[in-house]
């Protein structure tokens, strides 16, 4: 058990697991190629199973060492579900279960603090962005109803109903051929249609999307600052600990010198 504990605590263990996760992800990606030969598929599946064996060994080691504490970490539960599912369906034709293991790439974030900050910022921004998305949906719905009423009769393929209108408006918002495929054909029939599209673009692409970007940027700045403070606190504690250790070493050295001086005095006497 001590050996397993040391192996899990070894500073390079997580790097090795991360490398295996990335290798497994690459293999799973290559296996999606339909043009692979039988020999290539056999080799890739062998590598995939070897990666699975490593994941199982890691999981069993953690279960033996951490026991009940294993279930207190969400990442451990996620790993258990993914690896256990892969073992259960290892001989099955259900390829989606094997593909589900690609989500273990998220665990590689632990090795990259910068990615951790970005993901944490996105998660933190979700509550604020959700209200922005609600507002965006309302604007989409309003303009979809108006668009269907204004242009549905002449352009049923673009504004034939609320659903189709919202899809057309999404194309307009993303600027994907919105002028040539949507706006200009309508303007040939109804010249003032440009007002409708420009107002919609100003409200969505220029205003609301920039608001969302601002929310994420603010969250990134907040979390980055918090991470810097946390790292500074760790460095301070480490420096204090190193200073304490240096003081202890100095005390021991002085004590040895005093003992040597006492021995010399005793010999002279």
End-to-end CA distance of the chain: 55
- For residues 223 and 121, the answer to whether their CB atoms sit within 8 Å is yes
Domains of the chain from N-terminus onward:
2-111 (1.20.120.350), 115-242 (1.10.287.70)
pLDDT at residue 92 above 70?
no
* Band (268; pLDDT cuts 50, 70, 90): low
**Cα angle 69, 8, 12; round to 5:** 140
Cα–Cα distance list, 153 to 75, 189, 195, 259 (Å): 54, 12, 19, 103
pLDDT at residue 50 above 50?
yes
Dist CA 135 CA 162 (whole Å) = 17
State whether residue 73 is helix, strand or coil. coil
Dist CA 21 CA 62 (whole Å) = 17
* Band (151; pLDDT cuts 50, 70, 90): very high
pTM: 0.57
pLDDT of residue 140: 94
| pLDDT over 70, % of the chain | 88
Dist CA 73 CA 64 (whole Å) = 15
pLDDT at residue 114 above 60?
yes
Total count of residues recorded for the chain: 269
Find, among 128, 130, 149, 154, the residue nearest to 219 by Cα. 128
* Band (94; pLDDT cuts 50, 70, 90): very low
């Amino acid at each position: 058990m001590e050996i397993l504990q040391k192996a899990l605590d070894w500073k390079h263990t997580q790097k090795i697991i991360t490398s295996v996760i990335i290798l497994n992800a690459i293999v799973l990606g290559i296996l999606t190629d339909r043009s692979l030969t039988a020999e290539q598929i056999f080799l890739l599946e062998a590598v995939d199973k070897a990666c699975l064996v490593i994941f199982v060994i890691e999981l069993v080691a953690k279960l033996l060492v951490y026991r009940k504490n294993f279930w207190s970490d969400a990442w451990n539960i996620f790993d258990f579900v993914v690896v256990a599912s892969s073992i259960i369906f290892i001989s099955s034709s259900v390829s989606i279960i094997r593909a589900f293991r690609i989500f273990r790439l998220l665990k590689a974030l632990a090795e990259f603090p910068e990615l951790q900050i970005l993901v944490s910022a996105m998660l933190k921004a979700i509550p604020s962005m959700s209200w922005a998305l609600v507002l965006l949906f309302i604007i989409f719905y309003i303009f979809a109803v108006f668009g269907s009423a204004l242009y549905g009769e002449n352009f049923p393929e673009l504004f034939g109903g609320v659903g189709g209108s919202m899809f057309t408006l999404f194309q307009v918002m993303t600027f994907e051929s919105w002028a040539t495929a949507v706006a200009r054909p309508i303007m040939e029939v109804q010249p003032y249609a440009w007002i409708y599209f420009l107002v919609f673009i100003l409200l969505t692409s220029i205003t609301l999307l920039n608001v969302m970007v601002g929310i994420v940027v603010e969250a990134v700045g907040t979390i980055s600052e918090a991470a810097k403070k946390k790292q500074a606190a760790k460095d301070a504690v480490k420096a204090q600990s190193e200073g304490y250790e240096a003081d202890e070493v100095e005390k021991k050295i002085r004590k040895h010198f005093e003992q040597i001086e006492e021995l010399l005095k005793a010999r002279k006497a």
